[in-house]
Amino acid sequence: RMGVVFQDSRLFPHLNVQSNLFYGMRRAAAKPDAHEIDAVISLLGLGHLLERKPRTLSGGERSRVALGRALLMSPRALLLDEPLAALDAARKNEILPYLERVRDESRIPILYVSHSMDEVARLAERIIVLHEGRVIAEGSLFDVTSNLDLISGGAQLPGSVLEARVSAHDETHALSELSFSGATLVVPALSRSIGEKVRVRIDAQDVMLALTKPEGISANNVLTASISKIRSGSGPYEDVLLSVGGAKLVARITRRSATRLKLEIGQEIFAVIKSVTVGGR
CATH code, 106: 3.40.50.300
In this structure, are 266 and 141 located in the same domain? yes
In this structure, are 150 and 260 located in the same domain? yes
Residue 159 within a domain: yes
Residue 122 within a domain: no
In this structure, are 43 and 164 located in the same domain? no
Residue 120 within a domain: no
Residue 90, phi then psi, degrees to nearest 5: -65, -40
| Highest mean pLDDT pick, 142-146, 171-175, 229-233 | 171-175
Q: Which of 57, 82, 114 is the last residue of a domain?
A: 114
Residue 71, classed as helix, strand or coil, is helix
Whether the per-residue pLDDT at 281 is higher than 50: the answer is no
pLDDT per residue over 97-132, tens digit each?
A: 889 888 988 889 999 999 888 888 889 999 998 888
In this structure, are 95 and 136 located in the same domain? no
Answer for the pair 96, 119: CB distance below 8 angstroms, yes or no: yes
CB environment 70-84: b (16+ within 10 A), e (fewer): bbbbbbeebbbebbb
Cβ atoms within 10 Å of 149's Cβ, excluding its own:
13
Cβ atoms within 10 Å of 233's Cβ, excluding its own:
21
- Containing 224, the helix (H) or strand (E) segment is strand 221-232
Number of independent structural domains in the chain: 2
Of residues 239, 42, 266, the one with CA closest to residue 155: 239
Q: Which of 81, 114, 147 is the last residue of a domain?
A: 114
In this structure, are 269 and 144 located in the same domain? yes
Length of the chain as a residue count: 281
Domain range enclosing 165 = 130-278
CATH code for position 267: 2.40.50.100
pTM of the model: 0.78
Cβ atoms within 10 Å of 93's Cβ, excluding its own:
14
In this structure, are 148 and 178 located in the same domain? yes
C-alpha Rg value of the chain to the nearest Å? 22
In this structure, are 92 and 169 located in the same domain? no
Round to whole Å and give the CA distance between 12 and 50: 14
Number of H helices, E strands in the chain: 8, 15
